[in-house]
A and B are shown apart, each in its own frame.
Chain A
Amino acid sequence: MSNIIEIKKLRKVYGDGVELLALDDVDLTIKEGEVLAIVGPSGSGKSTLLNMIGLLDTPSDGEIWLKGQNITKASPKERARLRNKELGFIFQYHHLLPEFDAVENVMMPLLIAGMDKKEARHRAITLLEEVGLGDRLHNRPNQLSGGQNQRVAVARALAGHPSIVIGDEPTGNLDSKSSDMIYELLRKLNRQMNQTFILVTHDMDMAEKTDRILRLVDGRIVCEMRRDGDGFVSQDVCRQNE
């Protein structure tokens, strides 16, 4: 399995006067086909780490490699291109464009990539059928339930065949039934297409269904657990910090 993401000694410092260390010497490697969960208390740096991996934010120090390419210092234009081509995003709030129907929302990353409209529409419809919304193609976000909108968001994240899909509390705004449905959908896509996912979550039920759990406290990875059969095995780093 090849490495999709390699993070080396990543640091992020916020603020001009009072400095806030959001990430402190984080090392992390994510392999193709993994489903990874990042957990930790609020303000532990989970979202900051996710924004770094998602090329939405830039580190103060350290390096980020995407598929063997150092993208730490990529230009805004190049980062935009990589986000479009290599990354998919699912947020806590679906962030669908309210004026556009489900198909058009899913088409959006493809249109940004410059794909022909007809081709993009075809791909969007296939994906919406995949996530079980084949009968909701032309509904706008305000005509769909929270769970349905989040499924549209999943379809949109997958539209451009990204190397990695990033979920920032993807089920944080849903009831438990819809949450389970979304997770099962992500798992299914992971198995079918070997799609890599990295998920930030508060929901330990969901985290414990992933392949690997990272626990972040005060900007440091304090615990890393890997799935081993039905249970999890703590790594060395976990014991050291506990």
Chain B
Amino acid sequence: MRPGVPEKVDPLLELFVAMKHIRTRKRQTALAVGAVGLAVAIIIVFRAVMNGSIEIFFDLIFELAPHVLVLPKEGEEYIYLYKTLIEFIWTIPGVAAVSPTLSTTATLSFEDEVENVELTGGIPAEMNRVMSLEKYMIEGDFYAISSGRRAILGEGVAEKLDVKIGEDVVASFPDAKTMNLVVAGVFRTGIEEWDGAAYVSLNTAQEFLGEGDVINYINIHLDDPYQADVVAEEISALGYDADSWRTLFPEFEESLAFETFSNNLILALVLLIASFGIANVMNMLVLEKTREVGMLMAMGTSQSQIRRIFLIESGILGLAGGTAGSLFGYLVSTYLHSLQITVTNPSAPQAIVIKFLVDPFDLIAFPLLAMALSIIAGVYPAHKASKLDPVIALRG
């Protein structure tokens, strides 16, 4: 006996036997690798669609919503020195558009119809840059509001008032003057809230409100919307109430986080089911190999070595399946992306091109995850094999 001699942990033998099983049992190997591969490929493609739709969603949000919104100083109703403020904002790097806006509630009436709307005045060019309104015009010309008392109406408003281009609507409000506005165009964004609004020039809005050359907010767009928090902080330092889209619309990221979580849960189940396939293959292997395990034990293979043979085999099958699936999923995603599949939604003005964006991280992470799950799936069969009684096992 040689007490104190450390056990050799060279995995040479285990790897040798495991690889031999994998190479010679081609059908079982194909089954296990196929199950895991398919699962990983499904996951890669599914996540590519998820990433694509998230990008489409945020592109839409970032196109229409303010990246940073600047409101008056605390206790003040309007931003008075807005020209100085705008000059300052333009000095911040990464600012793409600055739209000073005066917005107020107004009652629009046409013949017998009356509708309360958000009447928003701005500089048409800047307004278009932060809201892309020109793109959503279905009738008339957005830039017509630049001169004279003209307004463009959201489709919802135009329908409710039953008004057509060229006709006059009357804008009124308790504190404001009554004003006739010529309908210069109609737009549709597909977002109900925005389609219930009306837009005029900044001058028109200021005249209507009668408070002088003031605005009540500034809508800022950035080259990179994810810099919004930094920019908002810089402006807040001047005493204005500046918020990023993150603070303004926390529900975007919240609902996205929830959806991502539930999708990932489904994908985890797909992978779990695939690892049951591995568990099944390993179980069959152990049953089939009972006599050989007995012989290996007779030759002095220790229980832990027997266990490792089957764990290594599970792991290799999982990694091989995961890698094949990852590659396949990437190719399928790339192909589907290149097809430029479009979906149309009746309420949306434009068809959406479905994007398949594969995250490189996924291509490495999921094969590794598949390997880990396969090893876990192999624990029970491996344990069973290691606990075989060699005398009974050899009898077959």
* Residues of chain A having any CB pair with chain B under 8 Å: 51, 54, 56-57, 69, 76-78, 80-85, 87, 89, 91, 93, 95-100, 104, 108-109, 111-114, 117, 156
Contact = CB atoms under 8 A, between A and B. Distances in A.
Nearest 3 pairs of A and B residues by beta carbon:
A84-B300, A99-B24, A95-B295
B303 interface: yes
A69 B12 contact: no
Given A97-B17, A108-B296, 5 more contacts: A83-B298, A91-B295, A99-B25, A104-B20, A114-B13
Interface string B359-388: 000000000000000000000000000000
Contacts of A113: 300
B296 A99 contact: no
A83 B299 contact: yes
B391 interface: yes
A233 B284 CA distance: 52
Interface of B: 1, 7-8, 10, 12-13, 16-17, 20-21, 23-25, 291-292, 294-303, 305, 390-391, 394, 396
A35 B297 CA distance: 25
A91 B394 contact: yes
A46 to B, nearest CB: 13
Contact of B303 (A80, A87, A93, A112): A80
Contacts of A57: 391
Contacts of A117: 12, 16
Contacts of A93: 291, 396
A56 B295 CA distance: 11
19 contacts: A76-B302, A76-B303, A80-B297, A80-B301, A83-B300, A89-B299, A91-B295, A91-B394, A95-B292, A95-B294, A95-B295, A97-B295, A99-B25, A109-B300, A111-B12, A112-B300, A112-B301, A112-B305, A114-B10
Given A111-B12, A111-B16, A114-B8, A98 B292 contact: yes
Q: Which of A51, A80, A156: most chain B CB closer than 10 A? A: A80
A81 B20 contact: no
Given A84-B300, A98-B292, A108-B296, A69 B1 contact: yes
A85 B5 CA distance: 15
B75 to A, nearest CB: 80
A167 B234 CA distance: 88
A56 to B, nearest CB: 5
A156 B300 CA distance: 13
A19 to B, nearest CB: 18
Contacts of B299: 83-84, 89, 108-109, 112, 156
A100 B20 contact: yes
A114 to B, nearest CB: 4
Nearest to B21: A99
Nearest to A111: B13
A138 to B, nearest CB: 14
A44 B391 CA distance: 17
A114 B6 CA distance: 12
A112 B301 CA distance: 6
A232 B69 CA distance: 110
B300 A81 contact: yes
Contact of A85 (B297, B300, B390): B300
B302 A97 contact: no
Nearest to B295: A95
Nearest to A159: B299
Contact of B291 (A83, A84, A95, A104): A95
A78 B297 CA distance: 12
A81 B295 CA distance: 14
Nearest to A82: B300
Nearest to B301: A112
A78 B5 CA distance: 11
B388 to A, nearest CB: 11
A99 B391 contact: no
A85 B16 CA distance: 20
A82 B394 CA distance: 18
Contacts of B8: 114
A78 B1 contact: yes
Q: Which of B300, B302, B390, B391: most chain A CB closer than 10 A? A: B300
A84 B21 CA distance: 22
Contacts of A91: 295, 394
A78 B303 CA distance: 11
Contacts of B300: 80-85, 87, 109, 112-113
A80 B394 CA distance: 15
B298 A112 contact: no
Contacts of A87: 300
Contact of A95 (B17, B21, B394): B394
Contacts of B1: 69, 78
B298 A89 contact: yes
B391 A56 contact: yes
Contacts of B390: 56
Contacts of A108: 296, 299
Contacts of B297: 56, 80, 83
Nearest to A57: B391
A82 B294 CA distance: 16
A99 B10 contact: no
A91 B292 CA distance: 12
Contacts of A83: 297-300
A97 B10 contact: no
A96 B10 CA distance: 23
A80 B20 CA distance: 23
Contacts of A99: 20-21, 23-25
A213 B8 CA distance: 40
